[in-house]
Amino acid sequence: MEYGFTTAAYVVAAILFILSLGGLSGQESAKRAIWYGIVGMALAVVATLFGPGAGNWFLSVILIAAGGAVGWVIAKRVQMTEMPQLVAAMHSLVGLAAVFVAFNAQLELGRVMRAKAAGLPDAVAVTGEHATAIIPLDMFRGFAAVLTHKTPAELNMLQIEVFLGIFIGAITFTGSIVAFGKLAGKISGTPKKLPGGHMLNAAAAAASLILGLLYCADIGPAVFWLILIALLAFFIGWHLIMGIGGADMPVVVSMLNSYSGWAAAAIGFTLSNDLLIVTGALVGSSGAILSYIMCKAMNRNFVSVILGGFGGETGPAAEIEGEQVAIDADGVAAALNDADSVVIVPGYGMAVAQAQSAVSELTRKLRAAGKEVRFAIHPVAGRLPGHMNVLLAEAKVPYDIVLEMDEINDDFPSTDVVIIIGSNDIVNPAAQDDPNSPIAGMPVLEVWKAKQVFVSKRGQGTGYSGIENPLFFKENTRMFYGDAKDSVNKLLPLLD
């Protein structure tokens, strides 16, 4: 009965997770999709707590309550601008959990192997401080009991799963910590590698594989090999993401999401948990697909990005001629009043200033005046895929005027006014004009082709990737300096 209930609940939860992922592909269905995920996870937790092999319910409830309370507090405190780094932090926890579960699986495996070596296949050897006790199997309801019935081939497969869980989980943990630091501005977005670069990563990976073979062949101290593998993987994750520049960080976030999924799937095999396998595979595959799509949108090679091969300069940058010309709110408002078509390009600066509501009001007033207003969203706008879409949806901007880059890029030559709010790299013409630029070849919003371009930004600094933008020096561009929210609010009373 227990197995039947758990299996049925896991199937329903898996279906809900699939529906959740599918719904997140569109703004209108995203809220419903989130509820699918919430219900699916709640069902999975209940089924696990009351499924076969479960125990320690009191402790489990305490831990779930504690984790839920921490999650609630974090969710209430985190601003929308901090969502990218929060996602990176969550990925790190998934990776660390995979490492802990894998080590625990090895400890249980060691107990079972000691029991079998003692000639007691239906008992488990438990090593205490001074002696080893042989405890009958019927006292165990969980993982150790399952291990005693596995064949040698199945135990070897389990060792492979433990190795993969530790290796992928450790890379995910430290890589996500570095991604968090870069997204939060605590670590420089400039790519940094130790002398030896990719060779160090390759050597650490090769050493991990050799240690993994020693572990699986039962040569030497198993736990010691696993500790060394974890340390090497921690280094790979740190060095790998440190070597990726700020321009590629949105891809890194989705890539780490994929890593965390595969780590969870590996642990699912270890624990013989079908739902964890399915969920991990869903997260891993969807993250990999998203990373690939984003790489195509940025004209990046997928393999090169995940190996930390992009983000650095390839030569001296082209010289920029001209000067940045400032404009005040009266000048921008006059241009908007005369315009028939307006395109707004939001970026991370809009999120930092929390200007989405002001932008939404600006949109409402312009549309009420009979002007065509649309939004242009670059695939990597902000620091997380879909970041701008979420902010605009939160501010009640109509979905049908929020367009992706491919849908609107050809319309800029016929656009009267483009307002850029906190964007830099995604509107940088150097991607097309300067082969030595770190973002060379990356598709960008061709805003400079519009009749007039107004850039709202705090000052003359460069963007997240540290690249100067020639757009700011063009004759049809004017710099509207100041906090984005304050700047947009200054425009509102000046519009007809």
Please name the amino acid found at residue 220: G
Is the distance from CB of 157 to CB of 207 less than 8 angstroms? no
DSSP state of 427: G
> In residues, how long is the chain?
496
CA 21 to chain centre: 15
**Cα–Cα distances in angstroms (integers) from residue 75 to residues 72, 152, 389, in the given order:** 5, 46, 19
DSSP state of 493: G
Is the distance from CB of 245 to CB of 438 less than 8 angstroms? yes
Q: Which helix (H) or strand (E) holds 279?
A: helix 274-297
Q: Which ranges in 78-221 belong to alpha helices (H)?
A: 83-117, 143-147, 152-183, 198-216
Is the distance from CB of 204 to CB of 235 less than 8 angstroms? yes
Directed axis angle between helix 484-491 and helix 356-368, to 10°?
20
**Cα–Cα distances in angstroms (integers) from residue 175 to residues 172, 252, 256, 314, 358, in the given order:** 5, 9, 7, 24, 36
Strands of 477-481's sheet in order across: 402-404, 372-377, 341-346, 417-421, 452-457, 477-481
> How many Å apart are CA 354 and CA 236, to the nearest integer?
36
- Residue 330: active-site member: no
CA 389 to chain centre: 16
> How many Å apart are CA 233 and CA 458, to the nearest integer?
40
Radius of gyration (C-alpha) of the chain in whole angstroms:
27
Q: Quick one: tokens of 196?
A: 């030896």
Cα torsion at 442, 444, 446, 447 (round to 10°)? -140
Q: Quick one: tokens of 336?
A: 């908007």
Q: Give me the catalytic one of 425, 434, 483, 486.
A: 425
Directed axis angle between helix 329-338 and helix 484-491, to 10°?
60
> How many Å apart are CA 241 and CA 244, to the nearest integer?
5
Q: Quick one: tokens of 403?
A: 């367009």
CB atoms within 10 A of CB 416: 17
The catalytic residue positions are: 425
